[in-house]
Amino acid sequence: MREIEYREAIREAVIEEMDRDPKVFLIGEDIGKYGGAFRAYKGLLEKYGPERVINTPISEAAIVGAGIGAAVTGYRPISELMFIDFTTLAMDQIVNQAAKIRYMTGDNLNVPLVIRTQGGAGRGVAAQHSQSLEAWFYHVPGLKVVMPATSYDVKGLLKTAVRDNNPVIFIEHKMIYLNKGPVPEEEYLIPFGVADIKREGSDVTIFAYSNMVFKSLEAAAELEKEGIGCEIFDPRTLVPLDEEALIKSVKKTGRLVIVSEACQRGSIASDICAKINQKAFDYLDAPVKIVAGLNTPIPYNSTLEQACIPHKENIIGAVKEILL
């Protein structure tokens, strides 16, 4: 199977959906001639024109608000916010409008809106451009939250997101756009709420998403040399969450390590821990362990930045701790 970059898989998904449905369009900052901050839309302005690739002023509230307005009138917009940090400028639109319109109209209005954005640390862009804020949206009923790790997953999930009749927060990690992975040439979709086992193992389940999947796979490869089998569980979508598959994996291994780049306080990692303690406690042979980012703003200094987020060594240490 061919291997393509993560950002190219995004581009292919967008092209396929725009070709399939003339109601799909793009709106955001620097998405026109520049092709987006991470070049996922390269060449799309020339292909579809400015009526379907709408380059906007610097106004996140307008980008999301226009997307909501278009969505409730039958279009399927993809609104891009360059950094997840900038969702702060559109939170009223996202939380009080997009997430609630379908409910408050008694299912008479749908909001088929995809908000594409990216988060995470690693590029030395400091505290206002490096946050992992997925827990904010995970907390809000009415929003779906998707965080794909691989080229295969990002293409299949983005196509599903565009066709969904509900608002989808589609979060990509800034460090994986150039990663390559196998992607079929034929069309495929990945349903929401279906996790993927990235690596089979029998000793411990590692729950990881987005860029932490790759760090967990590195840790698993090292631990295998010591005879420790790690099962890497990638939820792919956080809302909806494949709880049944996670419980099945924990039942198999008896141990769970949760890995997340976001800081632990008020995190998705903490909620997953609570879910397992409530629903799968009898299967556990050791307490659940969380490996997460520090409760601090992300520093500009690269050494300090790296000290704030989980690495392979942290995951290895957590696994060995719960195996003792």
For residue 80, give the nearest of 112, 56, 47, 111 by alpha carbon: 56
**Catalytic entry in 5, 60, 134, 261:** 60
Whether residues 139 and 212 share a domain: the answer is: no
SS3 161: helix
Instruction: Provide the number of structural domains found in the chain.
Output: 2
- 189 occurs within a structural domain: no
pLDDT tens digit sequence for 131-145: 999 999 999 999 999
Distance separating alpha carbons of residues 87 and 85, to the nearest angstrom = 6
pTM (predicted TM-score): 0.97
Whether residues 108 and 139 share a domain: the answer is: yes
Whether residues 219 and 166 share a domain: the answer is: no
Whether residues 155 and 244 share a domain: the answer is: no
Low-confidence ranges of the chain (pLDDT < 50): none
Orientation angle between helical segments 151-163 and 6-20, nearest 10 degrees: 30
Whether residues 157 and 206 share a domain: the answer is: no
Kindly report the CATH number assigned to the domain that includes residue 9.
3.40.50.970
Does the N-terminal peptide bond of residue 240 adopt cis geometry, omega within 30 degrees of 0? Answer: yes
Q: What is the pLDDT of residue 290?
A: 98
In the numeric block, the tokens 């400015």 are attached to: 50
pLDDT tens digit sequence for 218-233: 999 999 999 999 999 9
**Catalytic entry in 80, 129, 231, 305:** 129
Q: Does residue 173 carry a catalytic annotation?
A: no
Q: At which of 157, 182, 207 does a domain end?
A: 182
Q: At which of 160, 182, 204 does a domain end?
A: 182
Q: What is the pLDDT of residue 324?
A: 83
The helix (run of H) or strand (run of E) holding residue 96 is none
- 305 occurs within a structural domain: yes
For residue 24, give the nearest of 62, 65, 67 by alpha carbon: 67
Q: What is the pLDDT of residue 308?
A: 97
- Render 30-95 in DSSP notation, one character per residue: T-STT--TTSTTTTHHHHH-TTTEEE--S-HHHHHHHHHHHHHTT-EEEEEESSGGGGGGGHIIII
Q: Which domain holds residue 283?
A: 196-323
Q: Does residue 129 carry a catalytic annotation?
A: yes
